[in-house]
Chain A
């Protein structure tokens, strides 16, 4: 079929010409650097297991070291101990940063600045616990019995959500929005390029408008997927190599679903950008023509971000809003990352969005066909709609 061959040729030209361009290479490199930088910052600030040194002086009650170690482990930290001659030596060690904190006689904490380090609450908790046990023992109460009496049963309706999953969700929202918008803009500029250089009439004299539009969107979309895969692989690879964070279990499904939703979201927005670009002939007018599309995508982005950040990312409102086709491609990967999305809901979202893509492609292709050969600064939507018979007739 000629249409398929021509679509392929158009897509191939888009992909190879652009992939060779300095702008693309530079933007890919820059994005990779940013992703790597973000991971490095994460590694640096979170640093996985925190390591503390604690100075001890005076009389250290039995059980205190064990209690400190236990609550440190619970807080994903490790503590090593060093014994000093007296309170003065510990204080000096803390100010000289030999140790991060000191405990004197099991009841006095020495820290550099109060209330700044998580170590302070680890130590304070351990000290209180040891003294409470002492007090209980002095009062003749068996701590074991008391613990049994105080036991509370907690039943959760949902699996615990971790902050790591939320971070993955946020990353998915940002990444998808960025990639969809960036490549949508490329389609905008690509269509405009053909109009302003006036090469388009030469092309559509031998290629159908549909093949030209499809080829352009597919070619640029493939570049987008390439970059997305590169970024995901680069990000995950760097994370694994640096071994600084354990990859949250939600990452791989989120990454896979992100690709699926990128395809739908890109198709949805790219053809709209193409239609907008076909309405104008000069780059000065292009951003104005694309404004409605850009606004919708930004609204979808902010909306999703809001939903994800809200206390109820699984509320009915959130579930309904994420079904909207402009929102779904950004919202679903985030929801998948943040927690389980029921299969039926995911299927419904995919179906609704795919159906919307079909409708939007038809509408946008009609406007594109109607406006493509028009000259002049700007053609109205209505005129483009009516003129659409011209090119799609072939």
Chain B
């Protein structure tokens, strides 16, 4: 379990982290969300000692983090890259050795990881000779080769094509299923909703919302009401609702969480023939927009 508590980081007058905290649990995937500049990267870098915090603690399995623990973590920085001239397998094995693996174990692990990611036949090539997509796989192999107990991925999906996204999502799921703690940041909220067990939303250096995906959605002060009438001219709006979107005669409102769906459906039916009705917790993207609203 990874616990960040009360992280504070100032760069001169700029406050990057203002008491941010979160908890990531083993076997679960935590989506770390927030607008640009909210402090996601700074918090992730802090886990790897790349940021000198002004305050706050980082614990792993209840103990203060130290460098010996860190080498068992895997990190994919936002700024990605590998030595362009070095051969793929050698480079991945070298990075594994930096994290404490013996020479032989490192080479075995590099082979196996590359094989796993479909790069087995390119292991002897120089990194610069790989296609963009394959370079990203090699990059992922660099973060995974030592079978990390904690995986921290900074925007892992940015710049990936749909197949790359699938590979990445599968890797993330497998690692979590294998018992690893996974933490990743993303702007692609639908993807996060598909993939994550837990979410933490950070805004201006503070975590404003955190919990399991289910909790976060049900705890929201709104519900998502979707309604369509057979006759498109019917103008009915739920009491206290705000229209979010209208498309193909179907309208989506956010209504107060305490609203009774049965009563709403009855009221709508009284206004006209209802051809479609839905009542559910808001989507993650709606929760997110609300949480970070100015």
Contacts and interface: CB of A to CB of B under 8 A. Distances in A.
Interface of A: 2, 6, 9, 13, 17, 21, 193-194, 197-208, 373, 375, 389-391, 393-394
A198 B79 contact: yes
A205 B77 contact: yes
Interface stretch (B65-73, B115-123, B279-287): B65-73
Contact of B50 (A2, A193, A197, A204): A204
9 contacts: A9-B97, A9-B98, A17-B85, A198-B79, A204-B48, A206-B48, A373-B50, A390-B52, A394-B49
A201 B71 contact: no
B42 to A, nearest CB: 10
A84 B95 CA distance: 83
B273 interface: no
Contacts of B68: 2
Given A9-B94, A198-B81, A199-B81, A206 B70 contact: yes
Nearest to B100: A2
B249 interface: no
Nearest to A207: B98
B82 interface: yes
B75 interface: yes
A2 B68 CA distance: 9
Contacts of A390: 50-52
Contacts of B81: 197-200, 202
Interface of B: 45, 48-52, 67-68, 70-71, 73, 75-77, 79-86, 94-95, 97-100, 142-143
Nearest to A211: B98
- Most-contacted residue by chain B among A198, A200, A205, A393 (CB, 10 A): A205
A197 B75 contact: no
B81 to A, nearest CB: 3
B52 A389 contact: yes
Contacts of B98: 6, 9, 203, 206-207
B134 to A, nearest CB: 16
Given A2-B71, A197-B82, A373-B79, 5 more contacts: A9-B97, A199-B81, A206-B48, A390-B51, A393-B52
Contacts of A204: 48, 50
A205 B142 CA distance: 12
A199 B142 CA distance: 10
A9 B90 CA distance: 12
B48 A205 contact: yes
A-B pairs, top 8 by smallest CB distance, nearest first, are A198-B81, A394-B49, A201-B77, A393-B52, A205-B48, A197-B81, A199-B81, A205-B75
B90 to A, nearest CB: 8
A204 B67 CA distance: 11
B68 to A, nearest CB: 7
A318 B81 CA distance: 49
Given A2-B68, A375-B79, A202 B95 contact: yes
Contact of A2 (B67, B75, B83, B95): B67
A205 B69 CA distance: 12
A394 B83 contact: no
